[in-house]
Copies of this chain bind each other. A is one copy, B any other.
Amino acid sequence: MGIATLGRSSPVVRSGHVQLSIILRESDKSTLQTQIFDQIRTMILNGQLRGDDPLPTTRELSAQLGVSRNTAVLAYERLIAEGYIRTKPYVGTFVSPDLPDTAFLSASESATAAPTAAHDATAAHQGGEDEPHLRTHRLADPNRRRLAADFWVGRPDARTFPLKAWSQHIKARLKSAGTKLTTYSDPAGLLELRQAIAKHLAPARGIVCDPDQIIIVGGCQDGFNLVGRLLVKPGSTAVVESPCYQGAAFVLESLGARLHPVPVDHDGLDVTQLPHVEGAVAYVTPSHQYPIGVTMSLQRRIELLSWATQYDAYIIEDDYDSDFRFVGSPLTALKGLDRNERVIYIGTFSKCMGPGLRLGYVVAPRRLVERFRRMKMLMNNGQSWLEQAAMADFMASGEFGRHLRRIRQLYRERRDALLGALQKHFGECEVYGEQAGMHLVWKLPKHFPSAEEVEKKGLAAGVGVISLATGSALRFDRNDGGDRLLMLGFVALSEKEIEEGVARLATALKG
Contact = CB atoms under 8 A, between A and B. Distances in A.
Contact of A167 (B171, B180, B247, B381): B171
**Most B CB within 10 A of own CB, among A157, A170, A384:** A384
Interface stretch (A55-63, A348-356, A410-418): A348-356
A250 interface: yes
A140 B179 CA distance: 13
**Most B CB within 10 A of own CB, among A183, A187, A357, A382:** A183
A184 B383 CA distance: 17
Interface residues of A, number: 62
A157 to B, nearest CB: 7
Contacts of A177: 161, 163, 167, 356
Contacts of A158: 178-179, 181-183
A374 interface: yes
Contact of A187 (B139, B179, B380): B139
Nearest to A384: B358
A364 to B, nearest CB: 14
Given A139-B187, A181-B356, A218 B377 contact: no
B358 A251 contact: no
A139 B373 CA distance: 13
A310 interface: no
Interface in A355-392: 355-359, 371, 374-375, 377-387
Given A374-B136, A386-B356, A381 B221 contact: yes
Given A225-B379, A380-B221, A384-B387, A178 B155 contact: no
19 contacts: A131-B371, A137-B378, A139-B187, A139-B381, A140-B183, A155-B183, A155-B184, A161-B178, A161-B182, A170-B386, A218-B381, A218-B384, A229-B254, A247-B381, A250-B378, A251-B379, A357-B384, A359-B384, A384-B384
Interface of A: 131, 134, 136-137, 139-140, 155-159, 161, 163, 166-167, 170-171, 174-175, 177-185, 187, 217-219, 221-222, 225, 229, 234, 247, 250-251, 254, 353-359, 371, 374-375, 377-387
Given A234-B234, A254-B375, A379-B379, 14 more contacts: A134-B371, A134-B378, A137-B378, A156-B182, A163-B178, A163-B181, A170-B174, A170-B386, A181-B354, A184-B355, A184-B356, A218-B383, A221-B381, A358-B385
